[in-house]
Amino acid sequence: MQYAFFTGATCSLLLLASVRIGLSRHGGAPWIQVLIAGAFLYLLRPLLDVQQPAVDLLIDLPTMLCPAAFWLFAHHLCSESQQFPRWGRGLIAVDFLLGLAAQFELHPLLYPIEQPFKLALIGLGLLTLLEQLQSDLVAERRQLRIALLIAIGGYMVIVVCAEFLFSYYPVPRGIPAVHSLMTWILTFAACMWLLALSPKALEENLPQRMAEPDPAPSEAPEKDAAPLDPSQQQLLYKLQLHMEQGGYRHTGLTIRELAEQLDAREHVLRALINRHLGYRNFNEYLNRYRVDEASRRLADPGEAHLPVLTIALDIGYRSLSPFNAAFKRHHNLTPTEYRRQQLPA
């Protein structure tokens, strides 16, 4: 009875959240909708008396896709300019095929083999959320990563491990009711935050490729028109002078280290770069200076003898791969192609 009550309450909240996200100005985020559908059907599944295998598979399908959807949504939320890795698609395909095979009970070992793949996808989603958390300049998106997505990822890990454990041992009495109660609390807190306390936290921080295209896109970052107070003006001057003098060349520079170099508070510097310079990610801000210097040096006949790797290391990159990716996003050419175009033989 308690399970049915809290399950019904949770499913109602999930439907409300799904409709709210679907009506947002971005038209909704497909992967978070898959997550919501998976959670909805997962909770509802024990209350349904399904006899037909085809219907049973359709009900379980969104739940099977939840770990992959979590990773994909985390990537689209956090990796604004990077394509989802091809090897990740392969890992998701293997997990999906294992899930289908386990669903049809083709072999008793398929289910225990499938569980590590689920945990791996969830873990990769959590890693995606954490790897650029420090460089994220958007306060609302940082809160979204920590308070919502990491909580969901952690809860999914617990559910996967519990399901695996209870597939071999009997479920203790009261566990389903406790699970439904905890799910309702988590869903209620998420809905209160996203729908009432901070209704624009999700839709304003979806990456542009998930949003409706802007009819007149601008290459320049969006800036806050609010005037700077004297202390902000002084910090902005110090920041620009520091960067013009080559402060961006420090390998592995973080915004915390930059704040210490400028004798400024980190959250103030974050807000300045985000709201007044228009950058959503600290690495993109650094890339602007690094790619500009690299472009000048690659077009300089006096430095034509220098390998591209040497220039990349000089301007602060740890290796060639991130430099190539940042350069190509800016010029739509690799550094080698750009040099060949600027310095024809």
Q: Bigger pLDDT: 44 or 78?
A: 44
290: tokens are 């690094």
- The pTM of this model reads 0.77
42: tokens are 């997962």
H-type helices in the chain, by residue range?
Answer: 2-22, 30-44, 53-64, 66-78, 86-103, 110-131, 139-143, 150-166, 175-191, 230-244, 255-261, 266-271, 282-298, 308-314, 320-331, 335-342
Residue 153 has pLDDT above 70, yes or no: yes
Dihedral Cα 152, 154, 156, 157, nearest 10 deg: 170
Q: Bigger pLDDT: 331 or 29?
A: 331
Q: How many CB atoms lie within 10 A of CB 282?
A: 22
Tens digit of pLDDT for each residue in 33-45? 899 999 999 988 8
Q: Bigger pLDDT: 113 or 49?
A: 113
Instruction: Give the type of residue at 184.
Output: W
**What distance lies between CA 210 and its chain's CA centroid?**
12
d(CA 265, CA 262): 9
- What is the predicted pLDDT for the residue at 202? 62
Q: Bigger pLDDT: 177 or 139?
A: 177
What is the overall mean pLDDT for the chain? 84
User: Terminus-to-terminus CA distance in the chain, angstroms?
Assistant: 79
d(CA 290, CA 253): 12
- What is the predicted pLDDT for the residue at 21? 76
Give the angle subtended at the CA of 145 by the CAs of 42 and 166, to the nearest 5°.
Answer: 30
d(CA 75, CA 149): 11
Architecture in CATH of 230-342: Orthogonal Bundle (1.10)
- What is the predicted pLDDT for the residue at 211? 40
Please give the average per-residue pLDDT across 215-244, as a whole number: 74
Give start-end residues of each CATH 1.10.10.60 domain in the chain: 230-342
Q: Bigger pLDDT: 198 or 85?
A: 85
- What is the predicted pLDDT for the residue at 140? 74
The sign of the CA dihedral 231, 236, 237, 239 is: positive
29: tokens are 């985020």
Tens digit of pLDDT for each residue in 286-319? 999 999 999 999 999 999 999 999 999 999 999 9
Indicate the DSSP class of residue 231: H
φ and ψ at residue 174, rounded to 5 degrees: 95, -15
Three-state DSSP at 281 gives strand
Residue 241 has pLDDT above 90, yes or no: yes
Residue 261 has pLDDT above 90, yes or no: yes
- What is the predicted pLDDT for the residue at 266? 92
Residue 249 has pLDDT above 90, yes or no: yes
Tens digit of pLDDT for each residue in 174-213? 888 888 888 888 888 877 777 666 666 666 565 544 444 3
